[in-house]
Amino acid sequence: MNDRQKYIEGAKRIVIKVGTSTLTYKNGLLNLYMVEHLVRQIADLQSSGKEVVVVTSGAIGAGIGKLGLKEKPKDIPENQAAAAVGQGILMNTYEKFFSEYGKTVGQILITREDISHKDRLLNAKNTFSVLLERGVIPIVNENDAIVVDEIKFGDNDTLSARVASIIGADLLILLSDIDGLYNDNPKDNPNAVLIDEVMQIDDKIVGCAGGAGSELGTGGMATKIKAAKIATSNGVSMIIANGEVRDIIRNVISCENVGTLFVAKKNS
């Protein structure tokens, strides 16, 4: 048994985070082909006996496209308005595609404040527990329409790591527009090498992380390293993989050598 089999094959509860760059075109409109492709894989994964939670980006991007804006708004009220419009579009799209595979979804909008208070955290855990027990696929996003800086996660990489930790997930899959963590920026260095496995997140690994993500998204490799720290310290292994690769979720679950695996720390 190789390391991938050890940390992935037995994973029962899985959180899948899908980034804005995977879900939308550069103009902000939803990429329906990609959404349907991912939904089919997730539905099949649940049918195999796994419990699946989806943490999704794309609400602001979808709202930007619907409102006909040419770029992401720079002020908070405009961003919140775009999120309010886009969240409905995003959820309706997920519901439509998942229902075609006989799956039921439930929406959970969350802020950092919701997991900072004991009672709210317990309520969140209970909600996830009941949904998963009833075979529902929770669709999670930050409540961008009302959230302010003081209570926001800021990016869905961090949110997905928190969710994975809260629900006691076995595996977190971060789908982005890059194949994984490289030892250098592959956009600048054609000789950059993909790192297959990370046992410990040290200064060298942190130094491999770049800066900003896509124009519509809020994440970058730095936020993914932060997410990996949160997840692995709470006993959750994590993989960064390219969401645009055909059958990427199936490839990950099949323990194929794709993406970068961050190995969970053993809880003492």
Calculate the average pLDDT of the chain. 86
130 burial class (0-12, 13-18, 19+ CB within 10 angstroms)?
exposed
- Dihedral of the CA atoms 40, 164, 104, 123 (nearest 10)? -170
- Any known ligand binding at 221? yes
pLDDT beyond 60 at 124: yes
Bridge partners (DSSP) of residue 140 are 55, 108
- Any known ligand binding at 222? yes
- Any known ligand binding at 238? no
| pLDDT of amino acid 247 | 94
- Any known ligand binding at 224? yes
Q: Give the N- to C-terminal CA distance of the chain in Å, as an integer.
A: 24
| pLDDT of amino acid 10 | 86
| pLDDT of amino acid 150 | 39
- Any known ligand binding at 219? yes
| pTM score of the predicted model | 0.90
- Any known ligand binding at 170? no
| pLDDT of amino acid 183 | 84
Domains of the chain from N-terminus onward = 3-262 (3.40.1160.10)
CA distances from 234 to 102, 126, 237 (A): 33, 19, 9
- Any known ligand binding at 17? yes
Element (H, E) at 55: strand 51-56
pLDDT tens-digit series, residues 40-99 = 999 999 999 999 999 998 888 888 888 888 777 778 888 888 888 989 999 999 999 999
The band of 2, judged by pLDDT with boundaries at 50, 70 and 90, is low
